[in-house]
Amino acid sequence: MSENERDFTIKSYLDFLAEKKLMGSKCKNCNATYVPVRKLCTKCNTANMEWIEMSGKGKLAAFTSITVGTPFFVEKGYGRNKPYCFSVIKLDEGPMVSGQLIGVDESKPETIKIETPVKAIFLETELKGETRVDLGFEPV
Amino acid sequence: MGKLARKVALVGAGMCKFGANFPHQRNPDMWVEAWLDAVRRTDNGIEPKDIDACYVGNYSSDLFNHQGHLGPQMAGLVGLVPKPASRFEGACASSGIAFRQAIIAIASGIHDVVCVSGVECMTELPTTGVTDVLATASDSLFEYPAGATFPGLYATLASAHFHKYGTTVEDLMRVAIKNHENGKENPYAQMQSSIKDIMNSKISKIKASGGEIPDWKDEFDFLKSRSNPMIAYPLRLFDCSLVTDGAACLFIAAGDVAKKFTDTPIWITGTGQGSAELSMHDRESLTSFIATKEAARQAYEMSGLKPKDIQIAEVHDCFTIAEIVALEDLGFYEKGKAVDAIKNGETKRDGSLPINVSGGLKSKGHPVGATGAAFAVEAFKQMRGIAERNRQVKFDVERMLTHNLGGSGATCVVTIFEK
């Protein structure tokens, strides 16, 4: 199915992620860009979107290094002795997104600097025989 | 627009002792205890026949206790059936919303007297379960898969605040130290100990067990030590509010019937509610809560008061950073300047703007759905000069504000009380 035949739904967004593409929706009326996808543009109140592939490049806007993690991350082996980073990234195209930040020293979070340039990566996890893909980031 | 069509007064308020009450007490037990406490504090008494409706704030009894439909469950316990009984949900602002909706219902003329309450029983689940339930108040589609926990989201906000304004971990610690000092004076609080008390008790235990005595000079050293484990950098255990079971109950009445219950009603002169995108990454700012700003704007406008007119406030300190951000967003201090006021002691009980004299969520405890109503209980006590132990502020409180934030800041309710 070509990109613009896909509905502007969360499922489509996640399907793209599984194909290792970070896709957003861009309002054809006012050019506002949304990641994750939106069907309705809240800037101009129209529903006239097109898919655009994001560069995946951005800067670290905010982060934390988590020692008491979610069940999903505990299952992935993270915890008190192996913290992980949750981050909010400001994409070069404007929108902010959440993702795990890898390639940093999670045990020394004071060494991680806001505004560090990052790029998107696609994190594969095997869970119960299925592979899931989540959006992540690493320093450029 | 934006005005109450009838005057509304708080005429009675009470709560149960907050703590790890389960299994000794479950939601119905705590709720009835709070009801009885509120009846006892209503000067001329109040009976079910005086009350038109029962509003219950609760976040997630479905997931914590496998029980929904709390409105009639609670109404049935005190003889309020068959009157309308409803539950309201807005994460940690659930009973703040119930309170506001009751104010609106009275102002509209539909009801004259409403019982507003909040209840939450969290410790029925182990900590991992509590963490998971709380996470459903944030975005489970995109934040949760990225690893966000509730402390993690506030820690993320803290990192942005540190970066933009130079806020430090010591600034966070001052909030925790102050709120524990206040909670020590609150017999209804979950942790009635100062951080110095907790530190000294740890030292005594280490001495008794023959261990190496730590060289903590003060609370800051203790709070930077391994005895205060990291939860989500930069937030440690003592930056986080408690996991709590509790209930609070309020009676509010239309101006013309309030005198039936008391000669000294507390007037609700401002109420505001705001919202923000559920996901933090969808918001314009990572260092400020737009929901707080909007709720405050409405409440100030309705009351005709300005931030400088407020004498004392209870703010939503679910995490230490949240108190700092609230003091800025409510207009008490400029962005980045609240930490200086905290350092100067302005927000202590004897300061120029006492904040969280109840002990806050940090020390009093945070049964999420009960928190909004419990803020009003402290307003009732402080404005009547009846706060227990040494917690009563030393001046006559004529104007007080409460701030109740939901989730990672997607809902906020602000209320202004006047005598």
The yes-or-no verdict on residue B354 having pLDDT over 90 is yes
Q: Which amino acid is present at B93?
A: A
Give B 107-146 residues with CB within 8 A of chain A. Answer: 128, 131-132, 135, 139, 141-146
Angstrom distance (rounded) from CA B367 to CA B249: 13
A96/B281 CB distance under 8 A:
yes
Give A 92-131 residues with CB within 8 A of chain B. Answer: 95-100, 109-110, 114-115
Q: Residue B381 domain-assigned?
A: yes
pLDDT score for A1: 60
Q: Which residue has the tokens 């993320």?
A: B156
Residue spans of chain A under pLDDT 70: 1-4
For A57-139, give the CATH class: mainly beta
Secondary structure E strands in B265-354: 266-275, 312-314
Angstrom distance (rounded) from CA B252 to CA B208: 52
Q: What value, to the nearest 5°, has the Cα angle with vertex B249 and ends B246 and B255?
A: 160
Angstrom distance (rounded) from CA B16 to CA B34: 5
Smallest CA–CA distance from B283 into chain A, residue? A96
* A42 at B interface, C-beta within 8 A: no
Chain A residues lying within 8 Å of B281, measured CB to CB: 88-89, 95-98
Helix (H, G, I), strand (E, B) or coil at A118: strand
Mean pLDDT, chain A, rounded, equals 95
CA-atom Rg of chain A in angstroms: 16
Q: Note the pTM of the prediction, 2 decimals.
A: 0.97
DSSP state for residue B90 in the 8-state scheme? B
Ranges B125-134, B143-152, B181-190, B401-410: which has the least confidence: B125-134
Tell me whether residue B366 is one of the annotated catalytic residues: yes
- Alpha carbon of B392: minimum distance to chain A alpha carbons (Å): 37
Percentages helix, strand, coil for chain B, rounded to the nearest 5? 40, 20, 40
> What are the residues facing B273 on neighbouring strands?
B413
Percentages helix, strand, coil for chain A, rounded to the nearest 5? 15, 45, 40
Mean pLDDT of B94-113: 98
Mean pLDDT of B205-226: 95
B155/A10 CB distance under 8 A:
no
Give B 200-239 residues with CB within 8 A of chain A. Answer: 229-235
pLDDT digits (tens, 9 = 90+) for B374-408: 999 999 999 999 999 999 999 999 999 999 999 99
Ranges A68-72, B14-18, B199-203: which has the least confidence: A68-72
* B275 at A interface, C-beta within 8 A: no
pLDDT score for A129: 85
Smallest CA–CA distance from B235 into chain A, residue? A64
**Shortest CA distance to B234 belongs to which of B171, B175, B150, B155?**
B155
B163/A66 CB distance under 8 A:
no
pLDDT score for B131: 87
Q: Residue B321 domain-assigned?
A: yes
Q: Whole-angstrom distance between the N-terminal and C-terminal Cα of chain B?
A: 24
Question: Which residues have CB under 8 Å from B205's CB, separation 6+?
Answer: none
Residue among B128, B141, B149 whose CB faces A66 most closely: B149
Spell out the domain ranges in chain A: 3-53, 57-139
Contact B116, B373 (CB under 8 A): yes
And the tokens for A17? 């992620």
* A54 at B interface, C-beta within 8 A: no
Give the CATH number, domain containing residue B341: 3.40.47.10
A98/B234 CB distance under 8 A:
no
Residue in B92, B121, B240, B249 annotated catalytic: B92
Contact B103, B250 (CB under 8 A): no
Q: Residue B160 domain-assigned?
A: no
- The residue range of the domain holding B309 is 8-125+242-418
The yes-or-no verdict on residue B1 having pLDDT over 70 is no
Residue in B54, B366, B403, B412 annotated catalytic: B366
Tell me whether residue B54 is one of the annotated catalytic residues: no
Q: Residue B202 domain-assigned?
A: no
**CA dihedral sign of residues B43, B48, B50, B53:** positive
